[in-house]
Amino acid sequence: MSAAEQSFITLNTGTKMASIGLGCWSGLTDEEHESARPWIISALKTGYRHLDTAHDYGTEGAVGKAVRESGVPREEVFVTTKLPLHHHAKVAESLEQSLNNSGFDYIDLWLMHWPQAMADIDDKPNPRYPGPNGEPDQGEYIMNDDVTFNQTWADMETIFETTGKVKAIGVSNFSVKNLSKLLETAKIIPAVNQIEMHPYQAQPDLIAFCRQKGIATTAYSPTGYASIANDPTIIKLSEKYKVSPAQISLAWILSRGSAAIPKSTNVGRQRGNLFELPKLTEEDIALINTLHKNVHLCSYPGIQERNGEKLVFGWTYTQMGW
């Protein structure tokens, strides 16, 4: 099957983005980052035309190499990358780093990865204070409270309007609360809000808000890990449609008008996620909707606690609007 047979979402820029993309996170080490290249190439040869990476993932280089080695023309591949937390105060420089890492002349979609800003200490990602016994990088994250996401967005808008180096801009991990605050000053409506979304975190209010504002949504962690794969309702539906539990979750996400970026290193699963999703009945979609628990399952490395309240990369759930 060809890319032309895939489903697409039309962004508020008029650009089309494939509804199923490939998540390109691949661990924390340089070896793991480079190991992503073969399975990104296999995805491209299978028919994927939407790749999702980030400055913080360390796989921008692997994505760039994979596109060039795949034989697929660059203009046929929709590439998303993301501005990291410690670059909120140096937006233009960060984009140049991403372009240099990937070897691309432009990025199709550039997202603000998180609303909160961290300190930029020698360009070290996600800097942390020492732990209680002086252990390096074991304490809370070192934040930069001098820059707001409104200011960072304004810098991204300028780059979008003046350079031609990004075709669309958007956000990630923004709640209704923080999107509302962003829109108070934004000249450009974000094209996309990439969020954790799966049957246990359906994000109904956020989806409705984004739809009202013309903001597309993309689901990361779309299959929700083992807890959802082992959910009796999901298993029953996977048996009914003769597909995997992951394919049920992906089909449900697409039924809501959202995109999804599952990661898969296996060619068979890559093909199944892209070309073999069932069309769920309205009754089955409604059944999956009842599984919503408003829980975040993604095991962010930045999750901590302070006085009994969860933190994610230095912000409380209250600040996140979660």
As annotated, the binding site includes 113
Strand partners, 170: 111
Amino acid occupying residue 225: Y
Helix (H, G, I), strand (E, B) or coil at 92: helix
* Domain limits for position 121: 3-320
Strand partners, 118: 143
Strand partners, 109: 80
Per-residue pLDDT 10s for the chain (322 aa) are: 344 468 999 999 999 999 999 999 987 788 888 899 999 999 999 999 999 999 999 999 999 999 999 999 999 999 999 999 999 999 999 999 999 999 999 999 999 999 999 999 999 999 999 998 999 989 999 999 999 999 999 999 999 999 999 999 999 999 999 999 999 999 999 999 999 999 999 999 999 999 999 999 999 999 978 999 999 999 999 999 999 999 999 999 999 999 999 999 999 999 999 999 999 999 999 999 999 999 999 877 778 888 889 999 999 999 999 9
Give the number of domains in the chain: 1
Sign of CA dihedral 47, 73, 195, 175: negative
> What confidence score (pLDDT) does residue 1 get?
38
> What confidence score (pLDDT) does residue 117 get?
99
pLDDT tens track for 137-180: 899 999 999 999 999 999 999 999 999 999 999 999 999 999 99
The whole-angstrom separation of Cα 233 and Cα 76 is: 38
Asked if 315 contacts 88 with a C-beta cutoff of 8 angstroms, the reply is no
> What confidence score (pLDDT) does residue 252 get?
99
Which of these is catalytic: 57, 141, 220, 241?
A: 57
CATH value at residue 167: 3.20.20.100
The whole-angstrom separation of Cα 10 and Cα 216 is: 8
For the record, the structure tokens of 51 come out as 């790749």
As annotated, the binding site for substrate includes 113
The whole-angstrom separation of Cα 155 and Cα 95 is: 11
Cα-Cα end-to-end distance for the chain: 40
Short-list 246, 200, 201, CA closest to 223: 246
Strand partners, 194: 172, 218
For the record, the structure tokens of 133 come out as 């016994």
Helix (H, G, I), strand (E, B) or coil at 171: strand
> What confidence score (pLDDT) does residue 77 get?
99
The whole-angstrom separation of Cα 206 and Cα 209 is: 5
Asked if 178 contacts 186 with a C-beta cutoff of 8 angstroms, the reply is no
> How far lies 147's CA from each of 119, 173, 174, in Å?
10, 18, 16
The whole-angstrom separation of Cα 49 and Cα 19 is: 10
The model's pTM: 0.96
List all residues 6 or more positions away from 228 whose beta carbon is below 8 Å from its beta carbon: 198, 199, 200, 234, 245, 249, 291, 297
Short-list 224, 235, 230, 231, CA closest to 297: 224
Q: What are phi and psi of 83, to 5 degrees?
A: -75, 125
Q: Is 129 a catalytic residue?
A: no
